[in-house]
Amino acid sequence: MLRLSPHTSGTLLALLAVGCAAAELPERRSSETDRPSRNAGKPLVLSAPDLNGREVDVGAEMGKVRVVDFWATWCEPCKEAMPELDAMARELGPRGLNVYGVSIDEDRAQILQYLKKAPVSFPVLWDKGAVQVSRFDVVYMPVTLLVDRRGIVRYVHQGWDAGRSQRQRAEVEALLAEAR
């Protein structure tokens, strides 16, 4: 398992922010506890274009529980998470859940090609250059934010494993059950 030091992580994210297509964040498949995030307990500030170029302000969507998953087509654990996120979006959407996938790929065509093979029912946004994801203390991919109805980031998960889907779903169910 590859783990980056805070210094290396910052350097890598800086490279991504200026558009270095060759730089990739490490993937993680393990059941280790998530690192604490400085973003938990704070309002979600996140806006990114969809794949048609329309700006979507995910942070402004009050009254809905949100799952925001940062992913990439080169990340195998990210691709493993997509069907689980799609199922959650379809099943829990009527109860007030919105799911967003935010790709950090450099090439829009790669995203579209992947989604043709593995379509999802939720909106996919494009964080070209990883500008948005760089604000979320990323060490491993994928990164998933769980946001309550008031717009507060309640959980930040990094990496993916078989148990993650069940834990995230339980956390989302608890957020949906909270009073509006």
Give tens-digit pLDDT for 108-117. Answer: 999 999 999 9
Cα-to-chain-centroid distance, residue 159: 10
**Is-above-0.75 flag for pTM?**
yes
User: Which amino acid is present at 164?
Assistant: R
pLDDT tens digits along 85-94: 999 999 999 9
* Cα dihedral 147, 152, 157, 161 in deg (nearest 10): -20
Spatial contact of 135 and 27, defined as CB atoms under 8 Å apart: no
135 — pLDDT class (breaks 50, 70, 90) = confident
Give the architecture (CATH level 2) of 41-177.
3-Layer(aba) Sandwich (3.40)
* Both structure tokens of 53: 């170029």
Report, as an integer, the average pLDDT of 68-97. Answer: 95
pLDDT at residue 134 greater than cutoff 70: yes
Report CA-CA distances (Å) from 46 to 14, 133, 153, 155, 159. Answer: 18, 9, 11, 15, 20
What is the chain's percent helix, strand, coil content, to nearest 5?
35, 20, 40
The domain spans of the chain are: 41-177
